Amino acid sequence: MEIDTLYQKFKTCSTISTDTRKLHQDCMYFALKGDNFDGNKFVDKAFAGGAKYCVVDDVEALGNDNCIYVEDVLTSLQKLATYHRKAINIPIIALTGSNGKTTTKELINAVLNTTYNVNATVGNLNNHIGVPLTLLSFSEDIDFGIVEMGANHQNEIAFLCGIALPDYGLITNFGKAHLEGFGSIEGVVKAKSELYDYIKQNRKIAFINEDDEKQVKQIGAYSQIITFGKSAENDCAVSFESANPNVTLKYNDIKIESQLIGDYNYGNIAVAVTIGKYFKITTHNIKKAIEGYQPDNNRSEIIKKGTTKIILDAYNANPTSMLAALKNLKQLDAENKYLFLGDMFELGADAEKEHQSIVDFIEANFKTNIVLIGKNFYKTKTKASTVKLPSFEDLKPNLRDLKLQNTTVLIKGSRGMALERILKYL
C-alpha cells in the first residue's frame, strides 16, 4: 500500500500500537517482528482488543478487509512517521548524547511548556521504533516536538534524523557508552555527531556548549549555532555556581537552584535555559520550570529514609557517568558515605579495563563502605575492605542486617542490574 493511502487510514485512528497488551480503541496496530516474536500472529487479538486496522507483512495474517498488507511493517511505520512529520510541519528539536538525554529532554520540555504547547518523547522511546512512535503521537496543534535519539552503532543517529527531519539539534555530551557497538570513544563521538552532520547539511540550527571542547570541535566552523557557557560573549551566558548537593547556576544575574544533583547535570540544565531564552521564555518562567523539575525513574533521585540520604541513579551507567557520580559523591559534605555500584554493560572488550579503572578511582578516594555487584566488578582486583559480590542475590543477605544512620548512599549501575531493588532493604 502507498504511504499516502496508509496515512489517510491512520488519520481515522485514535493512535498507534505495536503491542496487543497495550491497545486503545480504534488504534492502528503494526505487527512488528523481533528475534523472539512475530506480531503477525496476534492480529486476531489486536482486533478483539479494539484495533481498527492491522498492518501486516505476512499474507497468512490477512483475515479481513481491515488488514493492511505491506512489504515490511517496520519500514512502513518509519515512512508513515516521516510522512506525518511533514504533514503537520511543526518545529522539531532533536537531542542525543552519551549521558543525560532523558533528563535534558524533560528540562527542555518543562521550560518550553511554560509558554507553548509542547509534546516530547515519552520515557526513552528513542530508537528506530520509538522515534517513529513519538512522531506519530504529535499533532499539528502543538508548537514544538522534542525527539530524543539513542544509538549504540554507527549510522543510527543519521537514520533517525532522516525519519524525524529535525529543525534544531543538540548533543548533551560524548562519553564512554555502548563501547561494544561503537568500538571506542572516537566511535562514540563520530556516531553522536551524525546529528551535527544532518544539521549542517540541511542548514538547521544547533545549540552548542562553548565550554565543551569536543562539541566545539565537532560542529566546526558552522555558523548556524546558538552558543551557551560561562563567557558573556555567548548567546546565552549561564554559569555554574555549586552542586552540594543540588546544582545551582546563574542566568541573567538570577540564581537558579535545581532539584538535580551532580555538577555533570549543569550542561543539561544550561541548554534548557538557552533554548528557553532563544524562544523568548521569560527569566521568571525559566527559573520556575527548572526549579520545579523533579527527577524520577531512578535518575539522580534523592530519597530520604530517616537520617539517611540516598542518591538513586540506577537507571543506567557507563564509565563516564559512573566516574561523574563518584566525583560528585566525593565532594559532598557528608559525614558517612556508602557505595552500592553495579556492573556497566555493553562495554565489549573494554569491560575489564573500564571496571578496574572505576575500582582504582573508588579505592583511592573512598576507604570503606564500598560494595560492588556484578560479574565484571567481581573480577576486578580490590583491597580487602572492598566487598565484591557476583549478583544481586548474593547481596541480599548483606542488606538485611544493614543499619545506616547519618549516611549518604550512592546506588548506581546499568539498567540490567536493577539496583533500585536495594531501596526496600535500607
The 3 state secondary structure assigned to the chain is CCHHHHHHHHCCCCCEECCCCCCCCCCEEECCECCCCEHHHHHHHHHHCCCCEEEECCHHHCCCCCEEECCCHHHHHHHHHHHHHHHHCCCEEEEECCCCHHHHHHHHHHHHCCCCCEEECCCCCCCCCHHHHHHHHCCCCCCEEEEECCCCCCCHHHHHHHHHCCCEEEECCCCCCCHHHHCCHHHHHHHHCHHHHHHHHCCCEEEEECCCHHHHHHHCCCCCEEEEECCCCCCEEEEEEEECCEEEEEECCEEEEEEEECHHHHHHHHHHHHHHHHCCCCHHHHHHHHHHCCCCCCCCEEEEECCEEEEEECCCCCHHHHHHHHHHHHHCCCCEEEEEEECCCCCHHHHHHHHHHHHHHHHHHCCCCEEEECHHHHCCCCCCCCEEECCHHHHHHHHHCCCCCCEEEEEECCHHHCHHHHHHHC
Cα–Cα distance, 363 to 376 (Å, whole number): 17
Q: 41-50, 352-361, 402-411: which has the minimum mean pLDDT?
A: 402-411
- Cis status of the peptide bond prior to 319, with omega within 30 of 0: no
Summarised one tens digit per residue, pLDDT across range 279-334 is: 999 999 999 999 999 988 788 888 988 889 999 999 889 999 999 999 999 988 88
Domain over 301-425 is classified CATH 3.40.50.300: no
pLDDT given for residue 305 in this prediction:
86
- pLDDT at 365 > cutoff 80: yes
pLDDT given for residue 404 in this prediction:
87
Task: Tell whether the torsion through CA atoms of 191, 197, 199 and 205 is positive or negative.
Answer: positive
CA torsion angle 402 404 408 412 (round to 10): 10
C-alpha closest to that of 340 among 391, 403, 411: 411
pLDDT given for residue 293 in this prediction:
96
User: Confidence class of residue 134 from pLDDT cuts 50, 70 and 90?
Assistant: very high
pLDDT given for residue 402 in this prediction:
85
pLDDT given for residue 1 in this prediction:
77
Percent share of the chain, pLDDT over 70: 100
**Fold observed for domain 90-292:** UDP-N-acetylmuramoyl-L-alanine:D-glutamate ligase (3.40.1190)
β-pairing, 236-243 with 225-229? parallel
Looking at domain 3-70, what is its CATH homologous superfamily?
A: MurE/MurF, N-terminal domain (3.40.1390.10)
User: Confidence class of residue 177 from pLDDT cuts 50, 70 and 90?
Assistant: confident
Q: Where are the domains of the chain?
A: 3-70, 90-292, 301-425
